[in-house]
């Protein structure tokens, strides 16, 4: 795709609104808009001044007024894309926006691809790839904390960390290479190797910290995945409704009511939480129900927090036992002993004895009892699991996480090889680690990967 052509797109969401923006970027941006814009005060000597706002009208080929607008002309390089950029602020009717865009395209601009403005900002060196990707995260953030974290990365937080880690790897690599080239200058092999090892271990720990912080970051970004699971008819959908404070799911005395996953979104103690109600898990021959149960199990597998609901008015059964075996070691789990308004057949003590270390809350959801306590327990668990924002929280995309894991793998191999193998091998691993981290900042990245990343953006960003 030639980068020198001039691109244009509607940059605000479709729909009626106060203001809509058509953005144009490229060498011909000023000229193209100049052909269809008539400034209110005429075109004086220095028109248009960069980074000034002009009031006037957009007119079509026949000279008919399309809209009253404010236009900002911004000269390269101090623009989003680093190119000459013009933004036409018009009234946000989709027809108006399209008419203006069409006029600009007719004059010679090309419709921008998704994310192309941000891609140009990256290709022109204004931001690195981690910053570009964070723009997307910022747009998609589901919580205040998520916005703050993404904004940090847009400013370059992650980029700086990665650049500094890459520099450290390069310093150590240089040391290895020198000793390979001039072995006679080396006073003592083992001293150098010990030093090298300790340096690399420091870098490894920093990378591990980043990965650990990413779990937290993702939770804030996407919402903490919370699955409500249990046997049929225990009150899972009732619990979803109680937590959402709305009648979202169908509740019925017939076991097997919920067939598909159902989702809602709440904030608890500052945590954004995505709650998923699932089909009751049991043995069944009904293929539709079985498909629902498979989905329940997948949701349980992917969840960061599991709410396992039990019916206190029935005895603990093999099916309850089977469900508790779905718990993964790294998941936060809370048992909800429901229907405590009915004569008890399973007690709190029994559940505690069966599942030592897992907190249990009694509820009678039909009477709205125990919900507040349940919410408090959820917050406590999340505090334990995620801690409150701030320290060591990073926002990483899966791609960035994979690159860090790859770099870690190479560094760990390098440390291993220092003991037994010639230094050449360690040098190769260090080089690979350095390259892997370069994928995050975009220093070592293919066009194909760029296409994949920017295709997730909307047109106009
Ligand atoms: N007595 C009593 N009944 C309850 C309580 N909570 C839910 N129920 C009733 O239990 C029945 C099943 O509730 P649901 O919320 O549909 O249960 P579920 O676990 O989603 O069931 P499936 O979707 O079939 O797996 C309904 O008749 C509810 O009114 C409770 O605390 N006490
Ligand atoms: Mg249900």
Query: Are 336 and 239 in contact, with CB atoms under 8 Å apart?
Result: yes
Q: Which atom of ligand 1 is nearest to the CA of 234?
A: 19
For residue 333, pLDDT over 50 is answered with yes
Ligand 1 atom closest to the CA of 240, numbered from 1: 15
| Sole residue written with tokens 């979104």 | 265
pLDDT level of residue 389 (50, 70, 90 thresholds): very low
**Of 391 and 133, more confident:** 133
β-partners of residue 272 are 267
Query: Whose Cα sits closest to atom 12 in ligand 1?
Result: 233
**Predicted confidence (pLDDT) per residue in 353-365, tens digit:** 999 999 999 999 9
Q: Which pLDDT score is estimated for 1?
A: 44
Name every protein residue with a CB atom under 6 angstroms from any ligand 1 atom: 230, 232-238, 251-253, 255-258, 279-280, 338-339, 341-342, 364-366
CA distances from 116 to 8, 126, 282, 438 (A): 10, 14, 49, 21
Which residue ranges form the domains of the chain, and what is each CATH number? 7-127 (3.30.1360.120), 132-219+397-442 (1.20.120.430), 223-386 (3.40.50.300)
Pocket test for ligand 1, best of 244, 260, 366 (most atoms within 8 A of CB): 366
CA distance 262 to 266: 14
How far, in Å, are 172, 192, 249, 409, 430 from residue 433 at the CA level? 12, 20, 49, 8, 5
The span from the first CA to the last CA of the chain, in angstroms, equals 17
Q: Given this model, what pLDDT does residue 424 score?
A: 83
Ligand 2: centre distance to CA 229 (Å) = 9
Q: How far apart are CA 104 and CA 102, in angstroms?
A: 5
In sequence order, the β-bridge partners of residue 39 are 56
* pLDDT (tens digit per residue) in 121-146: 999 999 999 999 888 888 888 777 77
- Ligand 1 centre distance from Cα of residue 256 (Å): 11
Left, alpha or beta for 79 (phi > 0: left; psi -120 to 50: alpha)?
Answer: beta
Distance of CA 247 from the midpoint of ligand 2 (Å): 12
pLDDT at res. 395: 80
pLDDT of residue 391: 56
Q: At residue 22, does pLDDT exceed 80?
A: yes
Q: Is 406 exposed, middle or buried (0-12, 13-18, 19+ CB in 10 A)?
A: middle
Residue nearest to atom 8 of ligand 1 (CA): 235
Give the pLDDT confidence score for residue 219 in this predicted structure.
Answer: 79
The model's pTM: 0.68
Given pLDDT bands bounded at 50, 70 and 90, which one contains residue 264? Answer: very high
pLDDT of 182 strictly over 80:
no
Angle at 92 between CA 86 and CA 93, to 5 degrees: 125
Phi-psi region of 82 (alpha: psi -120 to 50; beta: other; left: phi over 0): left
Give the Cα separation of 147 and 151 in Å (integer): 6
Task: Report the sign of the C-alpha dihedral through residues 60, 62, 68, 71, in that order.
Answer: positive
| 103 token code pair | 């006029």
Return d(Cα 330, Cα 276) in angstroms, integer. 19
pLDDT at 164: 95
Q: Give the span between the Cα atoms of 342 and 327, in whole angstroms.
A: 27
Rounded to whole angstroms, the Cα distance separating 134 from 217 reads 12
Lowest-pLDDT range of 159-173, 212-226, 398-412: 212-226
Nearby residues of 20 by Cβ (< 8 Å), 6 or more positions away:
10, 12, 89, 90, 91, 92, 93, 96, 97
Of 19-23, 72-76, 267-271, 277-281, give the lowest mean pLDDT range: 267-271
| Residue of the CA atom closest to atom 1 of ligand 1 | 339
């Amino acid at each position: 795709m030639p980068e020198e052509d001039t691109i244009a797109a509607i940059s605000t969401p479709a729909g009626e609104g106060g203001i809509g923006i058509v953005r144009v970027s490229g060498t011909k941006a000023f000229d193209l808009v100049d052909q269809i814009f008539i400034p209110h005060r005429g075109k004086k000597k220095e028109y248009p001044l960069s980074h000034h706002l002009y009031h006037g009208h957009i007119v079509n080929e026949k000279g008919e007024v399309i809209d009253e607008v404010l236009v900002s002309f911004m000269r390269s390089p101090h623009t989003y894309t680093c190119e000459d950029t013009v933004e036409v602020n018009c009234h946000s009717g989709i027809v108006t926006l399209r008419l203006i865009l069409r006029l600009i395209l007719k004059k010679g601009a090309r419709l921008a691809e998704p994310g192309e403005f941000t891609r140009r900002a990256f290709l022109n060196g204004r931001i690195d790839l981690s910053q570009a990707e964070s723009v997307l995260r910022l747009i998609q953030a589901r919580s205040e904390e998520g916005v703050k974290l993404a904004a940090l990365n847009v400013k370059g937080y992650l980029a700086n960390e990665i650049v500094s880690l890459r520099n450290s790897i390069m310093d150590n690599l240089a040391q290895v290479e020198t000793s390979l080239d001039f072995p006679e200058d080396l006073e003592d092999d083992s001293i150098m190797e010990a030093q090298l090892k300790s340096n690399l271990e420091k870098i490894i720990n920093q990378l591990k910290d980043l990965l650990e912080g990413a779990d937290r970051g993702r939770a804030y970004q996407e919402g903490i995945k919370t699955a409500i699971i249990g046997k049929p008819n225990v009150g899972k959908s009732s619990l979803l409704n109680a937590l959402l404070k709305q009648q979202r799911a169908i509740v019925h005395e017939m076991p097997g009511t919920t067939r598909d996953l159902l989702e809602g979104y709440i904030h608890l103690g500052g945590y954004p939480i995505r709650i998923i109600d699932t089909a009751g898990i049991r043995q069944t021959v009904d293929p539709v129900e079985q498909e629902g149960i498979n989905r329940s199990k997948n949701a349980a597998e992917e969840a960061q927090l599991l709410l396992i609901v039990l019916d206190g008015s029935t005895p603990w059964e093999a099916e309850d036992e089977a469900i508790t075996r779905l718990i993964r070691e790294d998941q936060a789990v809370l048992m909800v002993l429901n229907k405590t308004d009915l004569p008890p057949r399973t007690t709190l003590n029994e559940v505690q004895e069966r599942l030592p270390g897992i907190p249990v809350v009694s509820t009678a959801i039909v009477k709205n009892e125990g919900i507040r306590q349940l919410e408090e327990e959820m917050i406590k668990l999340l505090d334990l699991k995620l801690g409150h924002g701030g320290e060591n929280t990073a926002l990483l995309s899966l791609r960035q996480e994979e690159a860090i894991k790859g770099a870690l793998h190479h560094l760990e191999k390098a440390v291993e090889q220092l003991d037994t193998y010639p230094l050449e091998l360690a040098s190769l691993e260090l080089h690979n680690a350095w390259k892997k981290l370069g994928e995050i900042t975009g220093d070592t990245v293919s066009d194909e990967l760029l296409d994949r990343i920017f295709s997730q953006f909307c047109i106009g960003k």
